[in-house]
Amino acid sequence: MTERFRFQLLARDGLARRGEIFTPRGTIRTPAFMPVGTVATVKALYPEQVRDAGADILLGNTYHLMLRPGAERMARLGGLHKFMRWEKPILTDSGGFQVMSLSKIRKINEEGALFQSHLDGSRHMLTPERAIEIQCLLGSDIQMQLDECIELPSERREVERAMELSLRWAERSRRAFEAQQASGGAGPGQAMFGIVQGGTDAELRRRSAEALVAMDLEGYAVGGLAVGEGHDLMLATLDATLPSLPETKPRYLMGVGTPLDLIEAVRRGIDMFDCVLPTRNGRHGLAFTWNGPVNLRNAVHAEDTSPLDEASTCPAARDYSRAYLHHLIRSGEYLGAMLLSWVNTAFYQELMAAMRAAIEDERFEAWAEETKVRIARK
């Protein structure tokens, strides 16, 4: 592990960017979509399937892993990569979002977030320092600061309060990460990203971004979106935020999203994404294809012998009939969820590869308009 973390821009087309993130565990081609491996598994898929689909990096969840099997246990077992047999890079979120959304009770103060586990009711204190410590014990390549996530819409004063608290936590996270590096708990190839907050308020977003940039972090995420504000407002918030972030660092839009969301965010200069949508929709019978989404629960597929996409490189999309997939989903068979999660994971990686190629060929705008029409078909 000799390669240090660094980001290189290779091509631009308008604001869309094609780049590479170098880490000791491999290169991440951007724009990149990270499949979500919440509890050390991308649901319903083998790690080999995720790798072969084209994923360069996946996401693990600090909150879930700290509760089960536990960060210290994970370290004793050799870290998250070894535990789940994934040799490529892993990004871990800080756990803040799950504390806000999943815990039975929570109390936020300057120190951190006191919460009660959704598993067994045990109480835990998650501070910025502990969030970084957990992520170092997991061994993740990219670690996220602890931030406070709030529901939208909220009063501006509440959005500002949470944004300012998140900035103070970012500084504490930065100091904790540097201490881990000094003590050997974090390696030279690992990185910590800050998270821009501020709701949909352009001025608050700019203030948050500028303060984080002054901390000179390795990358910057845009958090607190895709929480009900709507597609157009999300894009307007990106338009207001991204000019304040440096072009020389990766930009990560957290928890997003649909294929249309990804195309429009790349168009504005986002480099990285994660979302549960591909696997969650697959488990519920919805497949993403180049000719639009396909709901395999619908009876129209009951006698359709054609595959989802005969030109796909994914065997699940290419080799199984729609009739069979419909039967599996309607019967509640595990294999249905497995095959459609595979289909969607592969499609998202194909989508990112197509965007990278379009940027390199300086035809992103034309490609985006053609593709948006194509994938919106029903």
Q: Please list the active-site residues.
A: 93, 274
φ, ψ for residue 192, nearest 5 deg: -120, 135
Q: Which residue type occupies 51?
A: R
Q: What share of the chain is helix, strand, coil (3-state, %, to 5)?
A: 45, 20, 35
Whole-number Cα distances in Å, 295 to 35, 281, 285, 289, 332: 21, 9, 6, 11, 15
Place of tokens 């869309």: 16
- The DSSP bridge pattern shows strands 123-126 and 113-116 to be antiparallel
The gap from C-alpha 258 to its chain's centroid, in whole angstroms, comes to 12
Q: What's the count of helices (H) and strands (E) in the chain, helices before strands?
A: 15, 16
Contact by Cβ (8 Å): 351, 262: yes
Query: Which parts of 33-149 fold into alpha helices (H)?
Result: 47-53, 62-67, 71-76, 80-84, 96-101, 128-138
Does a cis peptide bond (omega within 30 degrees of 0) precede residue 292?
A: no
Q: Name which of 232, 215, 212, 214 is nearest 223 in CA terms.
A: 212
Backbone dihedral region for residue 146 (phi beyond 0: left; psi -120 to 50: alpha; all else: beta): beta
